[in-house]
Amino acid sequence: MPIFRWGQPWDPFQDLEREVDRLLQGVNLTLHGVRFSRRFPQVNLFELDDSYVLTAEIPGIDISQLDVTIASNCLTIKGTRLPPAEAGEDAFRRQERFHGPWQRKIQLPDRINEDGMRADYNAGVLRVTLQKAPSAAARHIKVNEGP
Amino acid sequence: MTDISDHNPPHESTSMIPAPENSSGEPRLLFNPPIDIYETPDGLVLYADLPGVDSEGLDLQVQNNRLTLFGRVTTDVPQSAQMLHQEYHIGDFLRSFILSDEVDHERIHAKLTNGVLRVELPRAARAKPRRIEVSGG
């Protein structure tokens, strides 16, 4: 059974489809899904022993257009992704990439040390590292004896 | 005019298919990256979003009439990290296109910046419109 069927029976790329099918024969189909209605950018959040790490796929951003802020344990990233300046509106044959202003807010599960924030942008992936705040030391409360 | 055609329709563009296993035995995912294609006076320009791909991980080939882009994604999140929230999966990118003869294969030029690939596909000289002078009788 063909694994993929793209297009109509008259599709000129049938040979390619067959080739891809052939190449994929014997590949264990463990994961098969479709990413629809994507938010931009998509983010992942990880927890390490002493920090949280947020990664976001934001390809093609000038870092001067990238804004990362934190307030009340809520991390906000925002910016704008512009279409290529030389492309006119009617010049597009296909437009699948996101263009325009975007913003994401991510609530962090724990208190963080706002001085230990670090953000890096590399190959279109933003990575924000947030140090957890040292857990508050137990405080003794003096009990006063009543009169 | 069809200078370039995708060999999978747009609605399939975000489908994900499993890739062959890598050397460590971990199955890797393969994604179709989103693309833009627009026309300029000199030909076509293609953009593809390849977040996580650097120039070492990119393989761009033109063979016969097929332009294939493959981007290997590298990530440095430690294995010990616990995933709290996941919107995207880590995988490599693959997409291929059929180029018509109107594209000058020899002059295709590509650049990768901040995870975005830009490919210039210049129109072959013979495919440019040529004005024909008409002499009066």
Residue (of A20, A81, A102) closest to B47 by Cα position: A81
Instruction: Let me know whether A80 and A115 are in one domain.
Output: yes
**Which pLDDT value is given to residue B50?**
96
Higher pLDDT, A32 or A100: A100
Q: Which residues of B touch A24 (CB under 8 A)?
A: 17
Task: Please state, in angstroms and as integers, the Cα–Cα distance from residue B104 to each residue in A77, B61, B121, following that order.
Answer: 41, 14, 7
SS3 A16: helix
Q: What is the pLDDT of residues A109-135, one digit of tens each?
A: 888 888 888 999 999 999 999 998 877
Q: Which residues of B touch A4 (CB under 8 A)?
A: 17
**Which pLDDT value is given to residue A1?**
41
Instruction: Let me know whether A41 and A9 are in one domain.
Output: no
Q: Would you place residue B113 in the very low, low, confident or very high pLDDT band (cuts 50, 70, 90)?
A: very high
- Supply the mean pLDDT for chain B: 83
Residue A68's domain is classified under what CATH number? 2.60.40.790
Question: Is-contact A4 A17, C-beta < 8 A?
Answer: yes
Higher pLDDT, A61 or B129: A61
**Which pLDDT value is given to residue A137?**
58
Write the burial class of residue B6 (CB in 10 Å: 0-12 exposed, 13-18 middle, 19+ buried): buried
The shortest C-alpha distance from A93 to chain B (Å) reads 5
Instruction: Let me know whether A6 and A41 are in one domain.
Output: no
The shortest C-alpha distance from A55 to chain B (Å) reads 9
Distance spanning both ends of chain B, measured CA to CA: 34
Instruction: Let me know whether A101 and A66 are in one domain.
Output: yes
Query: Is residue A141 predicted with pLDDT exceeding 60?
Result: yes
| A64: containing domain | 34-84+96-132
Q: What is the mean pLDDT of residues A21-48?
A: 60
Instruction: Let me know whether A56 and A110 are in one domain.
Output: yes
Residue given tokens 């009066």 in the structure block: B136
- Indicate whether A142 belongs to any domain: no
**Which pLDDT value is given to residue A37?**
46
Q: Does B6 touch chain A (CB under 8 A)?
A: yes
- Indicate whether A42 belongs to any domain: yes
Q: Which chain B residue lies closest to A3 (C-alpha atoms)?
A: B17
Q: Which residues of B touch A122 (CB under 8 A)?
A: 54
Q: What is the mean pLDDT of residues B84-93?
A: 92
> Cα–Cα distance between A60 and A24 in angstroms, integer?
32
Question: Is-contact A131 A50, C-beta < 8 A?
Answer: yes
Query: Is residue A72 predicted with pLDDT exceeding 70?
Result: yes
Instruction: Let me know whether A80 and A128 are in one domain.
Output: yes
Task: Please state, in angstroms and as integers, the Cα–Cα distance from residue A104 to each residue in A1, A127, B130, following that order.
Answer: 42, 14, 50
The domains found in chain B, sorted by start residue, are 4-21+34-78+94-126 (2.60.40.790)
**Which pLDDT value is given to residue B79?**
82
**Which pLDDT value is given to residue A136?**
53
Write the burial class of residue A54 (CB in 10 Å: 0-12 exposed, 13-18 middle, 19+ buried): buried
Q: How many domains does chain A have?
A: 2
- Indicate whether A66 belongs to any domain: yes
Among B116, B117, B118, B123, the residue to mutate for chain A (most A Cβ within 10 A): B116
Q: What is the mean pLDDT of residues B11-19?
A: 45
Instruction: Let me know whether A22 and A47 are in one domain.
Output: no
- Indicate whether A109 belongs to any domain: yes
pTM score of the predicted model: 0.73
Q: Which residues of A touch B85 (CB under 8 A)?
A: 43-45, 106
Question: Is-contact B111 B117, C-beta < 8 A?
Answer: yes
Contact A31 B7 (CB under 8 A): no
Instruction: Let me know whether A10 and A27 are in one domain.
Output: yes
**Which pLDDT value is given to residue B24?**
57
The ipTM estimated for the assembled molecules is 0.77
For A104-124, give one letter per residue: b (16+ CB within 10 A) or e. bebebeeebeeeebeeebebb
Q: Which two tokens stand for residue A94?
A: 């296909």
Higher pLDDT, A115 or B114: B114
> Cα–Cα distance between B45 and B118 in angstroms, integer?
7
